[in-house]
Amino acid sequence: MHSSTEGTTNGTSNGTAQHNIPNSCPSCPAPLKYSGSLDHLRYFEITPIIGREYPDVKVTDILNAPNAEEQIRDVAVIISERGVVFFRDQDNLNIADQKKFCDLLGKLSGRPEDHGLHVHPIYRDPGNLTLPDGTTDENIYVINSEAQKKIYKTMARRAPTEPRDLSREWHSDSTFENAPSDFSFLKMEETPPHGGDTLWCSGYEIYDRMSPSYRSYLETLTATCAQPVFKSAAEAGKYEVMSPRGSPLNIGDDFAPSHPVVRTNRITGWKAIFAGVGLHVTKINDVYSYEDQMIREYVMRLITRNHDCIARMKWTKNAAAIWNNSCVWHAATPDTHLVNGNRTGVRASSIGETPYLDPNSKSRREALGIPIV
């Protein structure tokens, strides 16, 4: 039996960390089970492997339910099992309630007590967009492709003579932090008639598609997740990066933590590939440069050659997606320049635990008894 379901904390509390990878979250509870409190809601799965949509549920109804805590904890479990959950027509959801819901997802599912919502490092950048009412909120990241271009002007320009490599879009939110995000909640306020889809890929399933010996090898590795653009943007704009950012662990302007390549999700107790690939992953540690390249290319190859591991959201006005960054990567589709219409959204993120790998945890397929092939 899974050891972490037997104790009161998550992970191998009596073991010692190997390869500088934490093997537990001492303050986190044992993995959670769905209680059934959402059984009255209509839903469908996006694919057999990843994603669920609740087509006619208002997030505010869950937030204001008499058993709200039980329902929100169950939403956290469902998101962590399915990777990402979609909602439509959240026209009555204001910023305060979006923040509250996202915060409670983390809090009620066992996030460390002194963690909260992420604060974007360059919230002070004068190029940042305001919310539709003209205000700003340090816990809300406003998504807009035009603003993105202005803020990241310190980044190198792409060569205009070649088609873009969109594989670079895959990432997990705030992996540049010592304690990265567990839940991210994105609501799209405006969207063009088509274009701008977001994709999520299951890190659980990518782990399950590797051979047992290769999985074991990756479990010994960590990756540096450096994102120097925040420091350089802050220096260019003559302002300080925000600190702390949703956790006493997320301070300063280094933005170069090491995270395990394979990680245990604290809520399901399942293993997923985590820091093996992505926009914020700079290098696999303690291997030669060609090995680093091979490992990351292999993970990316599995993502791009296994589209049955991917859920895709065609956004509609006021649609929302909430995902668990510790078991899925996501990628935006930068094609909105081809159509008329704005694409604007607002995102809140909760900050989870320091990533760890419980060596006794299972893969998703092992835990659910699904054959690997």
The residue ranges that bind Fe ion (CB under 5 A) are: 173
Q: 28 CB contacts (<8 Å, ≥6 apart)? A: 9, 10, 11, 110, 111, 112, 266, 353
- In this complex, which beta carbon is closest to Fe ion, that of residue 171 or of residue 296? 171
Strand order in the sheet with 270-273: 262-264, 270-273, 362-363
CB distance 303 to 277 below 8 Å: yes
- In this complex, which beta carbon is closest to Fe ion, that of residue 173 or of residue 208? 173
Q: Give the whole-angstrom CA distance, residue 57 versus residue 275.
A: 33
Shortest distance, position 82 Cβ to Fe ion, whole Å: 18
Ranked by CB distance to Fe ion, the top (closest) residue is 173
Q: Give the whole-angstrom CA distance, residue 141 versus residue 174.
A: 12
- In this complex, which beta carbon is closest to Fe ion, that of residue 32 or of residue 102? 102
- In this complex, which beta carbon is closest to Fe ion, that of residue 28 or of residue 79? 79
Q: 260 CB contacts (<8 Å, ≥6 apart)? A: 21, 22, 219, 221, 222, 274, 275, 355, 356, 357
- In this complex, which beta carbon is closest to Fe ion, that of residue 173 or of residue 353? 173
Shortest distance, position 214 Cβ to Fe ion, whole Å: 27
Stated as kind and residue range, the H or E segment containing 182 is strand 181-190
In which residue are the tokens 């450096």 written?
226
Neighbouring CB atoms inside 10 A of 308's CB total 10
- In this complex, which beta carbon is closest to Fe ion, that of residue 28 or of residue 242? 242
Shortest distance, position 85 Cβ to Fe ion, whole Å: 16
Shortest distance, position 285 Cβ to Fe ion, whole Å: 23
Q: Give the whole-angstrom CA distance, residue 270 versus residue 10.
A: 11
Shortest distance, position 347 Cβ to Fe ion, whole Å: 7
- In this complex, which beta carbon is closest to Fe ion, that of residue 204 or of residue 323? 323
Q: Which residues pair with 10 in a beta bridge?
A: 25
